[in-house]
Amino acid sequence: MAAPVDQIPDIEENTTEDTDQREQHKAFRTEITKIGNEKTVQIFKIAAIEVFGVQVAQVEKITSFSEVYELIEKAITKDVAPYIVHEILEFIESIQGLDPDVTRALKEKARAAITDKVDIKSKYPNLEFVLTLGVMVSSMEENDYEKFDGHLAKKILKTPHQQKMERCMIIHELIQRKHLNLKPNHSNDTRETMPRAGETVATRTEGLDPANENIKKISKWLDQSSCTTNWDFIEKYCERNGIKPPKKGNIIGKKKTISLVTLVVSAVTIICLLLGAFILVIIFFHESSENTIEINTYQNQTLLLMSYNSQTISINVSLNVEDTIPDLVNFNVYTSNTVPNITLQDLLLYNLHNLSSDRNDHGSHYNYNYMDGDIPIFLQKGSSINYTLHFTSTCTGVIVTNNSATLYLFDNVEDYKHFKSKHSNVPVAISHFDSIDNLFWSFSIKYDSLYYVGLQIEDCCLVSGNVTVTQASYESSTLRQVCKTLDVSRPYCVIDLPHHFTDCDNKGHVFVSIPAGDALTKISYRSKFYYFSCIFALIAVPLLIGLLLFFIVIVPCVYVCKYSCNFCRRPADYNSLNSSDSN
């Protein structure tokens, strides 16, 4: 580690320090206050504690290099302090532990202040190992150091880890608690230097005893904390000291075996719970939805009540029938996998009452339904309500036009009432007559619902006319009847659908035939269905079973194969690592 001796000015023995030398020491201490960074301070602080015997309390609060140097100078005398600092900087630079731009200025100042030398390797045999650790820890990226520090605090030092330790102090804790062992220092002075990074080790057979065990422990800690970016410092140390370096990520021991077993058991347990929960939800837990259709029809018809799919379990149909209606009035419920043809039937034509609006009435609003008064009619998609009107003037000098009256179609009673009271409303459709000579209008029904029609007449206009309905109904001859002759005494029908998760195309429709008149006022139906769709179940169940087999069979097999290969290829490493300290 030291520079060649011929490059360092010789100092004659028994020469007393003169005024120039004292000035050099003073200048060195003054100049180093301007030099050094946090990383340099951390490396020298751990060396001061573990190698030169400086008390921890003296080092803990130090933040500058000059303060560390003063403590080292007091511990080893100021005669050799510049030389030792120079040699330490040479060593750190040789293993690329510090930027040369940082060490260069410090080395120059230390070199100028050298007045004596010492055999560093013999007197301080632990210095190289401690410096290697200091450089390794201080060179870690912040996230790597957090992982390394956290692992040591939790698994090795067993201390509450509230906040990360200072980098030099974590090394001190490991040595203090005997997790790392150092040899005692010696006092002989033979003026040898520390080894350089490329130096051979042929004549160095003893090495650092117990360096072998220390390196194994440090390598294991780095591996267990997934922090191996600074592995080069360990490998170089082993190369300089004749130690066989452990391979990165190849630490095999009981903890890794336990970790794998824990992973497999945990994964299998979670998958089994998910699979069991999924099956239980499929079997025992269902959702339901309830809907209602208001009915008021004039002629017999068969209507499409709802459609279902493979997720549907059962359908409960309930008919709200007037109690005053005789039991002879019957209803039928059907199912079908396909939608049958629609048939159209023209209902009876009705002549409507003559309606008018006098002068200054500002328009009049009337009901104009197919059925009497404010009674709506239930129509299915494809039906139509057809009006033919005649307009007559009731005021002298007023000529009626095609805009003298307008028809409005509503699908809910609230808007219909608002229309009649001349309040804001939202009609489904509005008539637009082409001319006074062609006052025919047909409302085409786009969806199943109850429908109301209102008539607005302008002042001085008399309206007369007629209305007919073309009613759409599904053909029932091809449908499968599931509930027969429901009546007042038995207005319920429960349809249990066959369900197989392998049949995701199980789809169908429910139809109800209703008689003419106002016997039936409302149809309610409630469907019960699974939480999960058929396709989801067909994908999820095999996937969970596949994952279960993967963790039970494949993962253990891969691990056994890898374990066997590693054991056959590196038996010495395996046995030595398993016999080392568990820490």
Helices 571-579 and 555-569: crossing angle, nearest 10°? 100
Give the model's pLDDT for residue 26.
62
**Residue 67 has what pLDDT?**
83
Top-ranked range on mean pLDDT: pick from 38-47, 121-130, 417-426, 527-536 = 417-426
Residues paired with 454 in a beta bridge: 367, 408
Query: Which residues are 303's β-sheet partners?
Result: 512
CA distance 84 to 106: 12
User: What mean pLDDT do residues 84-94 have?
Assistant: 81
Tokens found for residue 184: 């005692």
CA-based max dimension of the chain: 146
Strands (E), 283-434: 286-294, 301-308, 312-321, 331-336, 342-346, 350-357, 364-367, 377-379, 384-393, 405-410, 429-430
147, containing H or E segment: helix 142-151
Stretch 500-526: mean pLDDT: 76
pLDDT band at 258 (very low <50, low <70, confident <90, very high): low
Q: For the domain made up of 344-474, give the CATH fold.
A: Jelly Rolls (2.60.120)
Under the banding of pLDDT at 50, 70 and 90, the label for residue 492 is confident
> Which amino acid is present at 514?
I
pLDDT in tens, 132-144: 888 888 888 888 8
With a CB cutoff of 8 Å and minimum separation 6, the contacts of 350 are 370, 466, 467, 468
Position 211 scores a pLDDT of 66
Q: What is the rounded average pLDDT of the residues 522-535?
A: 74
Whether omega for the bond prior to residue 210 falls within 30 degrees of 0, making it cis, is yes
pLDDT averaged over every residue in the chain: 76
pLDDT band (50, 70, 90) for residue 20: low
| More confident of the two residues 313 and 249 | 313
- Compute the half-sphere exposure of residue 290: CA atoms within 13 Å on the CB side of its CA: 4
Give the C-alpha distances (Å, rounded to integers) separating 157 from 129, 144, 170, 175: 20, 18, 9, 11
The pLDDT assigned to 171 comes to 85
User: Which has more pLDDT, 432 or 8?
Assistant: 432
What's this model's pTM, rounded to 2 decimal places?
0.47
Q: What crossing angle do the helices spanning 38-50 and 100-112 adopt, rounded to 10°?
A: 50
Which residue carries 């309930």 as its tokens?
318
- The pLDDT of residue 140: 85
Using pLDDT thresholds of 50, 70 and 90, give the confidence band for residue 84: confident
Does residue 531 have a pLDDT over 80? no
pLDDT band at 12 (very low <50, low <70, confident <90, very high): very low
| pLDDT, tens digit, 9 for 90 and up, residues 48-72 | 888 888 888 888 788 887 888 888 8
pLDDT attached to residue 24: 61
The amino acid that residue 555 corresponds to is V
CATH topology of domain 287-341+475-530: Jelly Rolls (2.60.120)
Query: What is the percentage of the chain residues whose pLDDT exceeds 90?
Result: 17
DSSP 333: E
**Which of 103-107, 270-274, 409-413, 520-524 has the least mean pLDDT?**
103-107
| CA–CA gap between residue 3 and residue 1 (Å, rounded) | 7
Instruction: For residues 319 and 372, give the distance between their C-alpha atoms in angstroms, rounded to a whole number.
Output: 24
pLDDT top residue among 534 and 347: 347
What is residue 39's three-state secondary structure? helix
pLDDT score at 114: 74
Which whole number is the average pLDDT over 500-525? 76
For residue 392, pLDDT beyond 80: yes
Pair type for strands 312-321 and 520-530: antiparallel
> Is the dihedral angle over the CA atoms 136, 141, 142, 146 positive or is it negative?
negative
Mean pLDDT of 27-39: 63
- List, for residues 191-227, the tens digit of each pLDDT value: 334 444 444 333 333 333 456 788 888 888 888 887 7
pLDDT-derived band at 441 (thresholds 50, 70, 90) equals: very high
Least confident of 72-76, 319-323, 465-469, 497-501: 497-501
Asked if 25 and 83 count as a contact pair (C-beta separation under 8 A), the reply is: no
* Span 325-383, pLDDT tens digits: 555 567 788 889 889 999 999 999 999 989 998 877 778 999 999 988 898 999 999 99
Average pLDDT over residues 118-128: 82
Question: Is residue 16 very low, low, confident or very high in pLDDT (cuts 50, 70, 90)?
Answer: very low
- Mean pLDDT calculated for residue range 529-557: 72
For the residues 175-181, what does the mean pLDDT come to? 86
pLDDT digits (tens, 9 = 90+) for 248-257: 655 444 445 5
Q: Would you place residue 285 in the very low, low, confident or very high pLDDT band (cuts 50, 70, 90)?
A: low
Give the DSSP H/E element, type plus range, for residue 483: strand 480-486
pLDDT value at position 550? Answer: 76
